[in-house]
Amino acid sequence: MKKVFSRPRSLRKVPFHYCPGCGHSIIHRLVAEVIDDMDLREIAIGVPPAGCAVLAYFYLDIDMGESPHGRGTALATGLKRALPDRLVFTYQGDGDIAAIGTAESIHTANRGENISALFINNACYGMTGGQMAPTTLLGQYTTTSPGGRKELRDGYPIRLSEMLALTDGSAYIERTTVNSPANIRKTKKAIAKAFKVQLDGLGFSLVEILSPCPTNWRMSPFEACQWIEKEVVQYYPLGVIKDVTKRDKGC
Amino acid sequence: MRGNHIVAEAAIRAGCRFYFGYPITPQNETPEYMAEALSNLDDGVFIQAESELAAINMVIGCSMAGARVMTSSSSPGISLKQEGISYLSALELPSVIVNMCRGGPGLGNIAPAQSDYFQATRGGGHGDYRNIVLAPCSCQELAELTMESFDLADIYRIPIIIFADGMLGQMMEPVEFPDRKNQKKLPPKDWTITGAKGRPGRVIRSLILDPVLEEEHNWKLMRKYERIQKREVRYENFMVEDAKMVVVAFGTAARIAKGAVIMVREQGLKIGLLRPISLWPFPETALVELGKRVKLFFVFEMNMGQMVEDVRLALGRNEDIHFYGRPGGIVPTPLEISRIISSHYLRKRL
């Protein structure tokens, strides 16, 4: 009988610790699948963040080097410059990449650093208990935005991917989500594309993945997926934001 | 050569091909030299980072890959690097960090100072750790210690702080770079992350959630620090053989103090100098040995009194340990110091 589904080689046989309905387990699996599909396991080096996904190295069976909060892209820069023929990627949350690490993100993209960033946007600080993130939507309740995020008090949700697309050094930036099987497949394709862009030496690549956090959103996993569809993608539209591989073809 | 250029050249001669930094006076000649020299080498990488935070994290990543790597800065910039230095210590990553110390706190000024002694020797970031801290007092020593620091970093898997000041960074003296033929035997770098070729994935991390395991890690680091304390103490004794009073000073202050000691010797005063070269590990035993026959100590620093605490701890007493400090970027002359030490000496009727 033909085997059609199995655990990716690059995913360890360990149960995920993530909350029910959390997007990290899906995205970890996608990363492992892409690494296997593209035969990158022996050259891949991942940089996990401070945040829920800091324990990514318990699940991904590849070399990984943990980063201080927000400094993933700077650390990955050091790794990639020392090992230019490896695949180096960061795995960062919204607070990590778009608040404390904003400067590193912008300048790594602007240098055209040949790394890939996987930016998991769940619109809150998950690990510390659901505080307001730079990406928290207006009106969204968090433990530090009582009554919902208010622009006059809390400022506006930041669209980091669009900001990074403005830098000349970024090569490929796409926003996806993992709230449905179809979107999960698109996310996998986007990750593969980001890695390909890096292997081709085209510059900085990033996939922003809108990811459910049912625990801190105080929703069921199903409601969380629906909320992404109804609310989150309205502010953070899905799709390719920048792709230099298309530019030459006049798109 | 100028001190700041010497640091850069010494690093390259020690096999360092990666430099990450951010401009700050009085050490800008180091990144400038590195930018030029490393771009002329096929395997050289220089990045002017967007901040000291980014630079030190580039150092972390580069060291994880197994490369010899350096960053340099001056006091305010070194403060920003402290987060990364704590991680480098926890992750046991070899690295060389140069501090051309200037007057502080805050922005302070760009004049020579030694006010970051506590920060350097106590581990200026969070958590329980130590770094090897080396304090040169001449351009020649700056060259030698910078080259040696890369070996020490690899041997102990530890960040090394070269602790100098704006005076040494800007000073020009002839130097002879040591031959690298007598290089120490280094342990293999079997802990790096370079891609999991034919082996399970390897992780370099400092998150240890289980307090039992974190305590174990702390003890592991502690045992390493004890090994370093046994093997890597460096100091210079100058005219202490018959001394009745010993001046303790490091770096530029020691150079000034040496001049002062020579002056007072001409007046017949039996005063010597102990110059700690490694500020951590601190030359406690050397002090204890001197303390057996010398009663009067005089500590001179270009700060408000920091190393003097280590001198008092080593000697186990406070009495007859005097301190004179000039903070804020003031560099006193040997004459000024000679007058003060001779008055202490004469007052004591030694």
Residue A249 has pLDDT above 90, yes or no: no
Instruction: Say yes or no: B47 and B100 in one domain.
Output: yes
Determine, for residues A75 and B200 on separate chains, whether the beta-carbon distance falls below 8 Å.
Answer: no
User: Which residues of B fall within a CB distance of 8 Å from A78?
Assistant: 18, 20, 57-65, 69
Q: What percent of chain B has pLDDT over 70?
A: 99
Residue B93 has pLDDT above 70, yes or no: yes
Instruction: Say yes or no: B40 and B173 in one domain.
Output: yes
Torsion on CA atoms B303, B307, B309, B312, rounded to nearest 10: -130
Instruction: Say yes or no: B14 and B153 in one domain.
Output: yes
State the sign of the Cα–Cα–Cα–Cα dihedral A39, A41, A43, A44.
positive
Query: Which residue from A minimizes the CA distance to B85?
Result: A68
Residue B183 has pLDDT above 80, yes or no: no
DSSP notation for B148-159: HHHHHHHHHT-E
Residue A82 has pLDDT above 50, yes or no: yes
Domain spanning A23-247: CATH superfamily: Thiamin diphosphate (ThDP)-binding fold, Pyr/PP domains (3.40.50.970)
User: What's the number of domains chain B is made of?
Assistant: 2
- For residue B190, CA distances in Å to B102, B154, B195 come to 38, 12, 12
| pLDDT bracket for residue A25 (50, 70, 90) | very high
Instruction: Say yes or no: B47 and B188 in one domain.
Output: yes
Instruction: Say yes or no: B226 and B247 in one domain.
Output: no
d(CA B264, CA B253): 16
Structural domain boundaries, residue B293? 236-347
Q: In 3-state terms, what secondary structure has residue B141?
A: helix
Instruction: Say yes or no: B141 and B112 in one domain.
Output: yes
| pLDDT bracket for residue B350 (50, 70, 90) | confident
In-domain check, residue B200:
no
| Closest in A65, A78, A104 to B59, CB measured | A78
State the sign of the Cα–Cα–Cα–Cα dihedral B134, B135, B137, B138.
positive
Residue B34 has pLDDT above 50, yes or no: yes
Classify A215 in phi/psi space as left (phi over 0), alpha (psi -120 to 50) or beta.
Answer: alpha
| pLDDT bracket for residue A1 (50, 70, 90) | confident
> Closest Cα of chain A to B61: distance in Å?
4
Determine, for residues B195 and A83 on separate chains, whether the beta-carbon distance falls below 8 Å.
Answer: yes
d(CA A107, CA B245): 55
Look at residue B182 in the predicted model and tell me its pLDDT. Answer: 63
Query: Which residue from B minimizes the CA distance to A101?
Result: B54
| Closest in A64, A67, A79 to B65, CB measured | A79
How many CB atoms are located within 10 Å of the residue B213 CB?
A: 10
In chain A, what is the greatest distance between 2 CA atoms, to the nearest angstrom?
A: 62
Which of B196, B84, B178, B88 shows the shortest CA–CA distance to B132?
Answer: B88
Look at residue A192 in the predicted model and tell me its pLDDT. Answer: 98
Place of tokens 């096929």: B42
Residue A74 has pLDDT above 50, yes or no: yes
d(CA B301, CA B112): 11
Q: How many CA atoms lie within 13 A of A30 on its CB side?
A: 27
Interface test with A, best of B39, B41, B60, B209 (most A CBs within 10 A): B60
Strand partners, B238: B273
Look at residue A248 in the predicted model and tell me its pLDDT. Answer: 60
> Closest Cα of chain A to B194: distance in Å?
7
Instruction: Say yes or no: B71 and B110 in one domain.
Output: yes
Please write the tens of the pLDDT for every residue from A184-225: 999 999 999 999 999 999 999 999 999 999 999 999 999 999
| pLDDT bracket for residue A104 (50, 70, 90) | very high
Taking each helix axis as running N to C, give the angle between helix B284-291 and helix B307-315, from 0 to 180 degrees, rounded to the nearest 10: 60
Determine, for residues B61 and A64 on separate chains, whether the beta-carbon distance falls below 8 Å.
Answer: no
| Closest in B61, B67, B200 to A61, CB measured | B200
pTM beyond 0.90, yes or no: yes
Look at residue A247 in the predicted model and tell me its pLDDT. Answer: 74
Instruction: Say yes or no: B176 and B27 in one domain.
Output: yes
Look at residue B180 in the predicted model and tell me its pLDDT. Answer: 81
Instruction: Say yes or no: B149 and B267 in one domain.
Output: no
Look at residue A71 in the predicted model and tell me its pLDDT. Answer: 98
User: How many pairs of residues across A and B have Cβ atoms under 8 Å apart?
Assistant: 130
**Amino acid at site B129:** Y
Q: What percent of chain A has pLDDT over 70?
A: 98
Determine, for residues A103 and B50 on separate chains, whether the beta-carbon distance falls below 8 Å.
Answer: yes
| pLDDT bracket for residue A251 (50, 70, 90) | very low
Look at residue B306 in the predicted model and tell me its pLDDT. Answer: 98
Instruction: Say yes or no: B57 and B158 in one domain.
Output: yes
- Using the 3D structure, point to which of B231, B261, B294 is the last residue of a domain: B231
Complex prediction ipTM: 0.96
The secondary structure element, H or E, covering residue A57 is: none
Please write the tens of the pLDDT for every residue from A147-189: 999 999 999 999 999 999 999 999 999 999 999 999 999 999 9
Instruction: Say yes or no: B8 and B134 in one domain.
Output: yes
Taking each helix axis as running N to C, give the angle between helix A102-110 and helix A72-82, from 0 to 180 degrees, rounded to the nearest 10: 40
Q: Give every CB contact of residue B239 below 8 A, 6+ residues apart in sequence.
A: B261, B265, B271, B272, B273
How many CB atoms are located within 10 Å of the residue B126 CB?
A: 12
Look at residue B29 in the predicted model and tell me its pLDDT. Answer: 98
Domain locations in chain A? 23-247
Q: Are A161 and A208 in contact (CB under 8 A)?
A: yes
Which of B117, B137, B132, B79 shows the shortest CA–CA distance to B310?
Answer: B117
d(CA B73, CA A198): 32
DSSP notation for B69-102: EEEEE-HHHHHHHHHHHHHHHHHT--EEEEEEEB
> Closest Cα of chain B to A17: distance in Å?
14
Instruction: Say yes or no: B147 and B269 in one domain.
Output: no
Q: Are A53 and A211 in contact (CB under 8 A)?
A: no
Please write the tens of the pLDDT for every residue from B51-73: 999 999 999 999 999 999 999 99
The CATH number of whichever domain residue B69 belongs to comes to 3.40.50.970
The CATH number of whichever domain residue B304 belongs to comes to 3.40.50.920
Look at residue B349 in the predicted model and tell me its pLDDT. Answer: 84
Mean of the per-residue pLDDT values for chain B?
A: 97
User: Which residues of B fall within a CB distance of 8 Å from A80?
Assistant: 61
d(CA A132, CA A140): 9
Strand partners, B112: B102
